[in-house]
Amino acid sequence: MSNTLLAEVASRRTFAIISHPDAGKTTITEKVLLHGRAIQSAGTVKGRGSGQHAKSDWMEMEKERGISVTTSVMQFPYNNCLVNLLDTPGHEDFSEDTYRTLTAVDSCLMVIDAAKGVEDRTRKLMEVTRLRDTPIVTFMNKLDRDIRDPMELLDEVETELNILCAPITWPIGCGKLFKGVYHLHRDETILYQTGHGHTIQELRIVKGLDNPELDAAVGSDFAEQLREELELVRGASNEFDKDLFLSGELTPVYFGTALGNFGVDHMLDGLTEWAPAPMPRETSERKVEAGEEKFSGFVFKIQANMDPKHRDRIAFMRIVSGKYTQGMKMKHVRIGKTVNISDAVTFMAGDRERAEEAFAGDIIGLHNHGTIQIGDTFTQGEDLKFTGIPNFAPEMFRRIRLKDPLKQKQLLKGLVQLSEEGAVQVFRPLDTNDLIVGAVGVLQFEVVVARLKSEYNVEAIYEAVNVATARWVYCEDGRKLEEFKRKCSTNLALDGGDNLTYIAPTMVNLNLSMERYPDIQFAKTREH
């Protein structure tokens, strides 16, 4: 292992933000970029209707809707680290995309609206991070509003999300009376100033708790209250413990306001100091360490038509080990081919640039001409297959039909390409010429029709279809599979990647078939 490689890898921090919609993910992303000097001034946040949009939101659709449909990647330097922030779509209809993005990070920032506490979507996303024990940093947002009692918020996180809380900062007042936070590790109070939401503020700091300057700065009532609360906090809550943090059992908690750009820097300081450098990943063969000399990576997302001028499809790859250099040869393991990669892209603060080199922990974008699928592994020759990047069976189904029947080929091409992204699935029943679209949320159906029109020039409409659920089917025994195919052909279809799928009209039907064919495996997720 070369020292430069190890140093580069050690400086990487790759994380994503998880939160309930409206908790402030977009706003905090923007402030993180501001602190990373990736943007000059904040205020370009997607204002619904303000005409300006955060750098991470670039598709027409999401501009109109004010939600992030796509995942993008932003890289910036901070405190001697190189941070990769992976944006995840906030709307729950896009949760699959989010799940897979979470397989590509080493830590997560959980943003909670402190007026509301733990919300539904946060709960679900935390379940996903649990699958890999991802370390979590917590930011309690919107302190410039009237929030709930901070102690109660920590309690709620602990009991509902089953993770210990270690407050690193503690708030003084809230809403109009928000005065700032006391930093428990630095023993200093950082004072909040309003009106600096768009720029990096000059800090006003009071050292020590018993400093009379604190009384002067926040008022003696607040100072007294802070001293009392801290005694309680120190007695009742957990101290930060790095091992527990790294094993996903404890989260450091910060308080602040993303809108007011206060506290985001404290959180980033903690994240860059404590969050893990690129972690090893499991493959079907062995564990791959980030510092290994040889390059390897996996594709966790495919995005069609990112740049309307070029009509390209980008496969997002998380580098797991080693180093990418422009023009290098990689083995595309699933198809057993060696390819020359000369034009990968990086995502420096949302602008796509050509990557000359990139290291474990980084994300690069490969131009995909239809050969790359989600979950694919690339190596420098070794036959590995990274595991744990699932596709989820859709829960809603519609038949899609053309307005102009002559465009059937275009429609199929569009659907197959869009399904490569993993947000929807397309199913072609073995016995009919229907095309059935499956999605995990209603919004995805709309997105598909809109994109088919704008990107493939195909106008399509939906019809109801009698499908309740789908399962990918497998069987070791070829003869039994053939028999099953013969007897159940009316319920079988091929998905966009030609995988055999059972599409059940009802759950009862599915259960009956599962009983009748015990040798057939009916899988809810598909590992690519």
Closer CB to ligand GDP, residue 265 or residue 292?
Answer: 265
CB nearer to ligand GDP: give 24 or 429.
Answer: 24
Q: Which residues are annotated as a binding site for GTP?
A: 19-26, 87-91, 141-144
Q: How far is the CB of 119 from ligand GDP (least distance, A)?
A: 10
Taking Cα atoms as reference points, which of 71, 76, 62 lies closest to residue 33?
76
Work out how close the CB of 260 gets to ligand GDP at its nearest, in angstroms, rounded to a whole number. Answer: 6
Helix (H, G, I), strand (E, B) or coil at 256: coil
**CB of 25 or CB of 528, closer to ligand GDP:** 25
Nearer to ligand GDP (CB atom), residue 26 or residue 134: 26
Shortest Å, Cβ 72 to ligand GDP = 13
Nearest distance in Å: CB 292, ligand GDP: 36
**Residue ranges of the binding site:** 19-26, 87-91, 141-144
Residue 135 Cβ, how far from ligand GDP at the closest point, in Å? Answer: 21
3-class secondary structure per residue, 321-353: ECEEECCEEEEEHHHCEEEEECCCEECECCCCE
CA angle 375, 380, 385 (to 5 degrees): 30
As a whole number of angstroms, the distance between CA 66 and CA 46 comes to: 7
Least spacing, CB of residue 454 vs ligand GDP, in Å: 24
Between 264-274 and 25-35, two packed helices, what is the crossing angle to 10 degrees? Answer: 70
Amino acid at 390: P
Residues ≥6 apart with Cβ < 8 Å to 134: 102, 105, 106, 107, 108, 248
Give me the residues that bind ligand GDP (CB under 6 A), please: 19, 21-27, 90, 141-142, 144-145, 257-260
Chain-centre distance for alpha carbon 364: 15
Q: Which is nearer to ligand GDP, 22 or 273 (CB)?
A: 22
Q: How far is the CB of 171 from ligand GDP (least distance, A)?
A: 12
Three-state DSSP string of 469-497: EEEEEECCCHHHHHHHHHHCHHHEEECCC
**Closest CB to ligand GDP among residues 19, 98:** 19
Q: Residue 42 or 458: which CB sits closer to ligand GDP?
A: 42
CA distances to 48, 111, 130, 254, 443 from 123, rounded to whole Å, are 26, 12, 11, 19, 21
- Cβ neighbours for 500, distance < 8 A, ≥ 6 positions apart: 472, 473, 474, 485, 492, 493, 494
**Angle of CA points 398, 94, 496, to nearest 5°:** 50
For ligand GDP, give the closer residue by CB, 102 or 437.
102
Please report how close the Cβ of residue 143 comes to ligand GDP at its closest, in angstroms.
7
Can you tell me the distance from the alpha carbon of 334 to that of 375, in angstroms, rounded to the nearest whole number? 10
| Residues sharing a CB contact under 8 Å with residue 275, sequence separation 6 or more, in sequence order | 13, 15, 106, 107, 135, 137
